[in-house]
């Protein structure tokens, strides 16, 4: 077997994450090389990286760095991988087994797949086929397989204890949750208080979204919420409990605040949100108070090939590798 030819000894074991990771997107024509990016992560003590889709140059640069890595399976690849174990084996060989000195932690099979997407019917099969390939390689105890969803999967999010998934999503979410329970893998969730705030500024105060509210804003039974991030995350946990997924941990696979391009965007707001986030996630939420929140900030750089303009300005760093504002991640 191709997979068994590689020994477990050649793989770095991913441990528990400490601190906050950062998403490394590449939709810009002025970004540093992958090696420069990995060096920048190391220089700034950023211990975890999320990369999207296949990125051979990034994986090459990550070798020996000990940075924990979340690697994505592209949405457009899900149908082929879901239909064929051989295709899943090939993906794992090319993107995992060929990079034995990379500290892989999670494989995100698809990003924000919607029920109407052509790949939706293939998502769970693709997750299972990738997991089978990982398990057959003897890496099932080291690398977890999941998918990332957005908070649009929620039907009810307020108050957080009433969190429920949309009933028309459960044909897809139900099997995903069952798989995660079975394999003891987390659900990856992209949580953006920014978008919740700009969609409802009449009812959501900016300080509640930026972690700067001086007191509890939402009292939910015995649980008091002083920031929107916790409320959104706990609504997901409540929804998971109602869907027989109470044992599933949530990893916040994207969050952040843009510095330009739209409502309430400024360098100061971005700095405030991300700085407070880094401090806050060392603790837990009102619902799970003693569990640090594994979190990935979006993103490492501004990306000038994204659209609309709002999507271009989420970076912690400018493309010339200069920080947009001072921030200590770990």
- Give the pairing type, strands 223-225 and 154-156: unpaired
Among residues 19, 21, 24, which one has the least CA distance to residue 319?
24
Q: Left if phi > 0, otherwise alpha if psi is -120 to 50, otherwise beta: which for 280? A: alpha
Tell the residue number behind the tokens 């590798």, with chain if given.
Answer: 321
Active site residue 254: yes
> What is the model's pLDDT at position 220?
98
β-pair partners for 68:
48, 103
For tokens 């149908």, what's the residue?
A: 79
Q: Quickly tell me which residue has 């990893």 as its tokens.
A: 251
In which region does residue 53 sit, left (phi positive, over 0), alpha (psi from -120 to 50) or beta (all else)?
Answer: left
Q: What is the pLDDT of residue 250?
A: 98
Q: Which stretches of the chain are DSSP H helices? A: 34-43, 56-62, 78-83, 85-92, 123-136, 170-183, 193-199, 206-209, 228-242, 267-280
- Give exposure, 23-45, as e/b (b: 16+ Cβ within 10 Å): bbbbebeebbebeebbebbeebe
36 is catalytic: no
The whole-angstrom separation of Cα 70 and Cα 50 is 5
pLDDT at position 290: 87
The DSSP call for residue 182 is H
Integer-rounded Cα Rg, in Å, for the chain is: 19
Which residues make beta-bridge pairs with 144? 106
The answer to whether 255 and 190 are in contact (CB under 8 A) is yes
d(CA 302, CA 318): 6
Q: Which letter does DSSP use for residue 243 in this model?
A: T
DSSP string, 91-118: HHIIIIIT-TTSEEEEEEEEES--TTST
The 10 Å CB-count burial string (b at 16+, else e) for 161-196 is bebbbeeebbebbeebbebbbebebbbbbbbbbbbb
Cα angle: 145, vertex 150, 153; to 5 degrees: 100
**pLDDT tens-digit profile, the chain (330 residues):** 333 333 333 444 343 444 799 999 999 999 999 999 999 999 999 999 999 988 999 999 999 999 999 999 999 999 999 999 999 999 999 999 999 999 999 999 999 999 999 999 999 999 999 999 999 999 999 999 999 999 999 999 999 999 999 999 999 999 999 999 999 999 999 999 999 999 999 999 999 999 999 999 999 999 999 999 999 999 999 999 999 999 999 999 999 999 999 999 999 999 999 999 999 999 999 999 989 999 999 999 999 999 999 999 999 999 999 999 999 988
Considering the candidates 36, 68, 76, 112, report the single residue annotated as catalytic: 112
> Is residue 236 packed enough to be buried (19+ CB in 10 Å), middle (13-18) or exposed (0-12)?
buried
Q: List pLDDT tens digits, range 3-27.
A: 333 333 344 434 344 479 999 999 9
Query: Annotated catalytic residue: which of 68, 254, 294, 303?
Result: 254
Q: How many residues does the chain have?
A: 330
Query: What are the distances in angstroms from CA 17 to CA 49, 190, 229?
Result: 11, 18, 20
Rounded CA-CA distance 97/185 in Å is 20
Q: Measure the CA–CA gap between 300 and 38, rounded to whole angstroms.
A: 11
**Rounded to whole angstroms, how far apart are CA atoms 251 and 148?**
9
């Amino acid at each position: 077997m191709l997979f068994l030819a590689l020994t477990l000894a050649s793989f770095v074991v991913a441990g528990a994450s400490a601190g906050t990771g950062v998403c490394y997107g590449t939709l810009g024509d002025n970004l540093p090389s992958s090696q420069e990016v990995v060096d920048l992560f190391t220089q700034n003590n950023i211990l975890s990286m999320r990369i999207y889709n296949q990125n051979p140059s990034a994986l090459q640069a990550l070798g020996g760095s000990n940075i924990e890595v979340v690697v994505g399976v592209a949405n457009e690849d899900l149908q082929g991988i879901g239909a064929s174990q051989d295709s899943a084996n090939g993906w794992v060989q090319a993107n995992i087994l060929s990079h034995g000195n990379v500290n892989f932690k999670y494989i995100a099979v698809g990003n924000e797949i919607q029920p109407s997407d052509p790949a939706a019917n293939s998502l769970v099969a693709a997750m299972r086929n990738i997991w089978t390939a990982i398990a057959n390689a003897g890496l099932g105890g080291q690398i977890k397989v999941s998918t990332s969803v957005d908070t649009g999967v929620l039907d009810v999010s307020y108050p957080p204890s009433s969190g429920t998934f949309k009933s028309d999503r459960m044909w897809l979410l139900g099997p995903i949750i069952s798989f995660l329970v079975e394999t003891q893998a987390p659900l990856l969730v992209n949580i953006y208080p920014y978008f919740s705030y700009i969609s409802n500024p009449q009812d959501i105060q900016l300080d509640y979204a930026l972690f700067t509210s001086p007191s509890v804003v939402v009292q939910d039974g015995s649980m008091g919420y002083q920031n929107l991030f916790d409320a959104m995350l706990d609504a997901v946990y409540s929804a998971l409990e109602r869907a027989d997924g109470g044992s599933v941990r949530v990893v916040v696979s994207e969050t952040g605040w843009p510095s330009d391009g739209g409502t309430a965007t400024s360098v100061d707001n971005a700095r405030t949100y991300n700085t407070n986030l880094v401090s806050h996630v060392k603790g837990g939420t009102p619902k799970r108070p003693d569990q640090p929140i594994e979190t990935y900030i979006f993103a490492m750089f501004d990306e000038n090939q994204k659209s609309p303009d709002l999507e271009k300005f989420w970076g912690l760093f400018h493309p010339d590798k200069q920080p947009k504002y001072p921030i200590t991640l770990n």
